[in-house]
């Protein structure tokens, strides 16, 4: 704990780090606020559902535990990682904020309704899902983004990659996303990470120190 406190003390003494971290946290909170309004809008504008080659041939499975608690554990784990390694705060917060903003923009454009037999039996599912925020899958994309950020750490890379596949499979089994939402998430998220590496060069460089 003493070493961790020393890390924060040394980093916080750096004006550039301090400003970048504050901006990153503010940027992330702003993106979450905009996401709420975008998701609410997309949900109210939902149109008829679409057919889907995979979902039409896949039975619905109750994936409430994975969809809700698996995602929450992943978020807490990710927050814990940057808490114990504070030099990652600027890059991770800004990267996730860009991810959220781009995803919000995408699902605001097209308003497909959920698949007809989507998992809706659990009240807690309704609390954790807007319904209109489909393209692209955040459950798939966010852990994949974390895998790309922590790519040099083999254990974390594998952990996040497995999480991405498991959560992607869960939203398909629950018919909570169309297959295009899940598969496109990998390609879009990779592009977002490449954009972030160019946007936040100084924050990325800090990770190598």
Q: Which two tokens stand for residue 173?
A: 């089994």
Position 138 pLDDT exceeds 70: yes
Using the structure block, give the residue that is written with the tokens 């925020």: 133
**Average pLDDT of the chain, as a whole number:** 91
pLDDT category, 206, cuts 50, 70, 90? Answer: confident
How far is CA 82 from each of CA 70, 85, 130, 156, 186, rounded to the nearest angstrom? Answer: 19, 5, 28, 13, 23
pLDDT value of residue 131: 79
Residue 99: how many other CB atoms lie within 10 Å? 24
HSE at residue 87, side-chain half, CA atoms within 13 A, is 14
Rounded CA-CA distance 134/47 in Å is 12
Tell me which residue of 190, 208, 192 sits closest to 152, measured CA to CA: 208
pLDDT category, 208, cuts 50, 70, 90? Answer: low
pTM over 0.75? The answer is: yes
Rounded CA-CA distance 28/26 in Å is 5
Asked if residue 46 lies in contact with residue 118, where contact means CB atoms within 8 angstroms, the answer is: no
pLDDT value of residue 144: 98
Rounded CA-CA distance 197/178 in Å is 29
If you average pLDDT over each of 37-41, 116-120, 139-143, 173-177, which comes out highest? 139-143
pLDDT value of residue 1: 64
Rounded CA-CA distance 124/176 in Å is 14
Average pLDDT over residues 98-124: 83
pLDDT value of residue 205: 84
Q: Which residue has the higher pLDDT, 43 or 194?
A: 194
pLDDT value of residue 98: 98
The string of pLDDT tens digits covering residues 151-164 is 999 999 999 999 99
pLDDT value of residue 197: 96
Tell me which residue of 181, 166, 65, 75 sits closest to 131, measured CA to CA: 181
């Amino acid at each position: 704990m003493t070493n961790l406190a020393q890390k924060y003390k040394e980093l916080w003494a750096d004006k550039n780090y301090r400003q970048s971290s504050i901006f990153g946290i503010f940027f992330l909170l702003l993106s979450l606020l905009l996401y709420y309004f975008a998701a609410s809008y997309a949900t109210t504008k939902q149109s008829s559902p679409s057919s889907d080659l995979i979902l039409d041939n896949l039975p619905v499975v109750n994936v409430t535990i994975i969809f809700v608690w698996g995602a929450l554990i992943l978020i807490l784990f990710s927050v814990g990682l940057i808490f114990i390694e504070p030099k990652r705060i600027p890059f991770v917060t800004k990267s996730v904020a860009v991810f959220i903003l781009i995803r919000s923009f995408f699902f605001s454009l097209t308003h497909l309704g959920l698949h007809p037999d989507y998992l809706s039996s659990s009240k807690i599912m309704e609390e954790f899902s807007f319904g209109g925020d489909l393209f692209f899958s955040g459950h798939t994309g966010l852990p994949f983004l974390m895998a790309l950020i922590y790519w040099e750490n083999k254990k974390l890379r594998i952990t996040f990659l497995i999480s991405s596949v498991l959560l992607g499979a869960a939203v398909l089994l629950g018919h909570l996303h169309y297959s295009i939402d899940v598969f496109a998430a990998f390609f879009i998220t990779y592009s977002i990470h490449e954009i972030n590496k160019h946007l936040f060069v100084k924050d990325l460089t800090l990770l190598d120190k």
